[in-house]
Structure 1
Amino acid sequence: MATTITVNGMSCDHCERTVSDAIEAVSGVTDVTVDRTAGTATVEGEADPNTLVAAVEDAGYEASA
């Protein structure tokens, strides 16, 4: 199952990697693609969208499901 969340505040490759690492650490995530230009993260797996948002926010970015 794919879930796309909106991520605000990314401006560089490092931002993308930080968001990707935060999401990959969530249980149930099998793959993640982060696109700073679009301001999205597309997540494959069974992770709860609210948990994904919380992980991104804990990494210092604004997010919504």
Structure 2
Amino acid sequence: MNQTFTVQGMTCGHCERSVTNAIKQIDPEAEVRIDRPQNRVEVHSSQSREKIAAAIREEGYAVAG
């Protein structure tokens, strides 16, 4: 299932990798696309929206939408 999140606080490539790795820890098969200028993270995953958002928040980023 495709899901889109607005993630605040991503300022560099390291931030993108941190968010991607957090998602891949709960779903190694997830496809993650990040548009940093738009603060958008698109995820194709079988995991619930809540689990993905929680994984991103645990990395220290604010998640909306």
Please report the TM-score for the alignment, with normalisation by the length of structure 2. 0.87
Aligned residues: percent identity? 34
Query: Which stretches in structure 2 are left out of the alignment for 5+ residues?
Result: none
Find the counterpart in structure 1 of residue 12 from structure 2: 12
Q: Deviations over 1:3-51 (max 9, x none)?
A: 0111000101111111111111123752111221111111112110011
Higher strand proportion, which one?
1
Q: Gaps (5+ residues) in structure 1?
A: none
- The structure with the greater share of residues assigned to helix is 2
Contact 1:53 1:63 in 2 (8 A): yes
> Which runs of structure 2 are paired with 1:15-34 in the superposition (5 Å)?
15-27=15-27, 29-34=29-34
Runs of 4+ displaced beyond 6 Å:
none
Pairwise CA RMSD: 1.5
User: 1:6 is paired with a residue of what secondary structure?
Assistant: strand
Q: How many residues align?
A: 65
Contact 1:2–1:44 (CA under 8 A) maintained in structure 2: yes
